[in-house]
A and B are shown apart, each in its own frame.
Chain A
């Protein structure tokens, strides 16, 4: 995103947060988007988180070969990695692909078929009506998905460790319950909030300013996912640096 685009992105956000014409209609739209972003992504997040947790346990067990290191460490490392990094970041990147491309192509198609012009002619604040419900659903549902992802990732580690025999259930549970710092949850939720905003606002921007036809809509969709992923990684670093 060069400076011109960044400026346009900020101006678009300014119009997104204008007072809604009719709150009831916006609330209905927010509920619809929450269902799509939250409930619609639950299955995908559940599968990814469980398997990542299981794989993490196996890899940590593979690397911790010393007899001087207790096996309970596997649970602790898996817990902290899942909470601090894997659940928020991997979930956000997966969601950027799933939700980001959908948002960008939906709004982009509306732009090229003049549906956004139709909204504006009616006197409706098109950025507000189209983008605000998506952003609100992103910043509320992504943290919830991340919480579920944390739980499933740790559970996945338990299942993976038990099936493979890399760590016993008792050692794993002792590991995940030892020296737990609740602040890591706060850091993860701050990340999830920021990522939720990026995942919805960046693709919405890309879609909103599409010019051309079907090809340009698909290109905008690809660009939206790429920019969202890069932004997620940069913000991941910044939030980690600020909060830890």
Chain B
């Protein structure tokens, strides 16, 4: 479980996060949604320690991450897997080397054990046999899946996904969403997905935290989101004609 308490963050006097709190449970897909510039990615980066919040705390199963020393943070980070918006695969390494990288750094497993783990992760994301390809030889969807395989290589307790569907076609987006949900339920990870994709929201959003102008405006599930009377949330959720028509119909 990850708990955030009263997170504030500003850049050069511009307040980006204004006192965000929330609890993200394990085994469910937690979504942070909001329009562009609402502070979703900044919140995610504060949670994983890429940004230091101005105030507030981030608790990983009760362990306060924000005041931790560099060495203490390393221990928590070994339990974190993250899928980046642009996949962030290492260009100079093959798919196999990318997935094996954290195993090489932090485990004492033999090469064959590591290779087994790599093959298992690749199988899990339906990319068997793609070991020797370089990131430049992969499509956007394949890169995301390799990113997921690398993120789960170390059996993380916490899985973060930053805009996993950006730049993907609707069909591939669904594949990625379903994969994230399956992995979350299978390994009981605390999964946090930052997205503004409404298909993801309706498809996998077990718990949703809606941000608007750096503040938490709403929290609930995908079943409740269509029935709120919060104007800002409705403007976001029903921005497209399709969603508007769907709402009118039901």
List chain A positions with a Cβ less than 8 A from chain B: 18, 21-22, 25, 109-110, 113-115, 117-118, 120-124
Q: Give Cα distance in the complex from A115 to B73, angstroms.
A: 19
Are the C-beta atoms of A120 and B50 separated by less than 8 Å?
yes
What interface size band does chain B fall in? 20 to 34
Q: Does B245 contact A (CB under 8 A)?
A: no
Residues of A with C-beta under 8 A to B82: 118, 121
**Assuming A21-B105, A25-B105, is B90 touching A122 (CB within 8 A)?**
no
Residues of B with C-beta under 8 A to A121: 48, 50, 77, 80, 82, 160
Provide the main secondary structure of the chain B interface: mixed
Residues of B with C-beta under 8 A to A110: 90
Interface residues of B in 29-78 (CB under 8 A from A): 48-50, 70, 73-75, 77-78
Are the C-beta atoms of A122 and B88 separated by less than 8 Å?
no
Residues of B with C-beta under 8 A to A117: 50, 84, 88
Are the C-beta atoms of A113 and B86 separated by less than 8 Å?
yes
Residues of B with C-beta under 8 A to A109: 91
Residues of A with C-beta under 8 A to B199: none
Are the C-beta atoms of A115 and B90 separated by less than 8 Å?
yes
Q: Which B-chain residue is minimally distant from A129 (CB atoms)?
A: B105
**Assuming A123-B74, A123-B77, A123-B78, is B88 touching A118 (CB within 8 A)?**
yes
CB contact between B104 and one of A25, A115, A118, A123 (< 8 Å): that residue:
A25
Residues of B with C-beta under 8 A to A114: 84-86, 88
Q: Which A-chain residue is minimally distant from B108 (CB atoms)?
A: A22
B233-248 CB mask vs A (1 if < 8 Å, else 0) is 0000000000000000
Residues of A with C-beta under 8 A to B86: 113-114
Q: Does B102 contact A (CB under 8 A)?
A: yes
**Assuming A115-B88, A115-B90, is B50 touching A122 (CB within 8 A)?**
no
Q: Would you mind naming 29 contact pairs between A and B with Cβ atoms under 8 Å apart?
A: A21-B105, A21-B106, A22-B104, A22-B106, A25-B104, A25-B105, A110-B90, A113-B86, A113-B88, A114-B84, A114-B88, A115-B88, A115-B89, A115-B91, A117-B88, A118-B88, A120-B49, A121-B48, A121-B77, A121-B80, A121-B82, A121-B160, A122-B101, A122-B154, A123-B74, A123-B77, A123-B105, A123-B106, A124-B105
Whole-angstrom distance from the CB of A113 to the nearest CB of chain B?
A: 6
Q: Give Cα distance in the complex from A109 to B89, angstroms.
A: 12
Q: Which A-chain residue is minimally distant from B77 (CB atoms)?
A: A123
Whole-angstrom distance from the CB of B108 to the nearest CB of chain A?
A: 10
Whole-angstrom distance from the CB of A173 to the nearest CB of chain B?
A: 47
Residues of B with C-beta under 8 A to A21: 105-106
